[in-house]
């Protein structure tokens, strides 16, 4: 699932051009039993199964070792621990601000849970960031991790053809993005706003900010109020 989605379109091109490296680690490979079983019934009873600590830690230890080896080969001198992101409904809600924070890291491990979750003891030992993409439940952490991976990857220099796109995205300045238009000038009787055809960059910027404020106030009043507070201090 991860390889199929990530190795297509913009992120796929980034992988092909060595701007990003993707490596999938199957936790089942570290199960330590012939049936490759990685789950068991929860202590205390309850519905569902829980992923065991041993195979999860084994997969992490193997992956962290690969990262340490790569750091040594490339001469990257750092003692910083590897960032381990666990996709979980109980994590902090993922935002563009968090994407920028994660994009500063050279390596990130994404841990994808299944069933009722993962044994808490291994999470306490290896996870640095608990992240949720929303108040709903998926069948596994892969789709959620892909959302975060895509948001982070597009902030890596060179991934987007125009790096300015990442700067003007929604949420980058705390506002939702302004409307966009392209040819033709008239579509179904609707004309492109005159100011965008004027060539007057200051007026265009003013119009775009005004529209961003209007859209944000209407759709996300919480973001609008926070933006106004920051800019009136």
Active site residues: 89, 116, 154, 169
Give the helix, strand, coil percentages of the chain, each rounded to 5: 45, 15, 40
Phi, psi of 50 (to 5 degrees): -125, 135
184: preceding bond cis by omega (within 30 degrees): yes
Q: Torsions phi, psi of 201, nearest 5?
A: -65, -35
Both tokens of 162, joined, read: 């125009």
**Distances 36 to 27, 54, 68 between C-alpha atoms, Å:** 9, 12, 27
CA distance 182 to 162: 17
* Spatial separation of the C-alpha atoms in residues 146 and 214, rounded to whole Å: 31
């Amino acid at each position: 699932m991860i390889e199929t989605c990530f190795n297509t379109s913009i992120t796929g091109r980034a992988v092909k051009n060595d701007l990003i490296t993707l490596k999938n680690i199957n936790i089942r490979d570290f199960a330590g039993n012939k049936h490759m079983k990685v789950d068991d019934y929860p202590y205390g009873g309850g519905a569902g199964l829980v992923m065991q600590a041993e195979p999860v830690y084994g997969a992490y230890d193997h992956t962290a070792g690969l990262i340490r080896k790569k750091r040594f080969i490339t001469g990257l001198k750092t003692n910083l621990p590897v960032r381990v992101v666990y996709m979980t409904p109980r994590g902090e809600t993922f935002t563009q601000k968090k994407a920028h924070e994660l994009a500063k890291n050279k390596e990130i491990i994404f841990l994808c849970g299944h069933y009722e979750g993962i044994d808490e003891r291994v999470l306490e030992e290896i996870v640095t960031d608990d992240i949720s993409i929303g108040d709903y439940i998926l069948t596994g952490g892969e789709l959620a991790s892909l959302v975060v991976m895509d948001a982070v990857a597009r902030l890596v220099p060179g991934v987007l053809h125009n790096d300015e796109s990442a700067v003007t995205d929604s949420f980058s300045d705390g506002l939702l993005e302004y409307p966009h238009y392209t040819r033709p000038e008239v579509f179904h009787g609707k004309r492109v706003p005159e100011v965008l055809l004027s060539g007057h960059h200051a007026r265009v910027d003013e119009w775009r900010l005004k529209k961003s404020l209007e859209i944000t106030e209407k759709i996300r009043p919480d973001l609008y109020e926070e933006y106004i507070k920051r800019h009136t201090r």
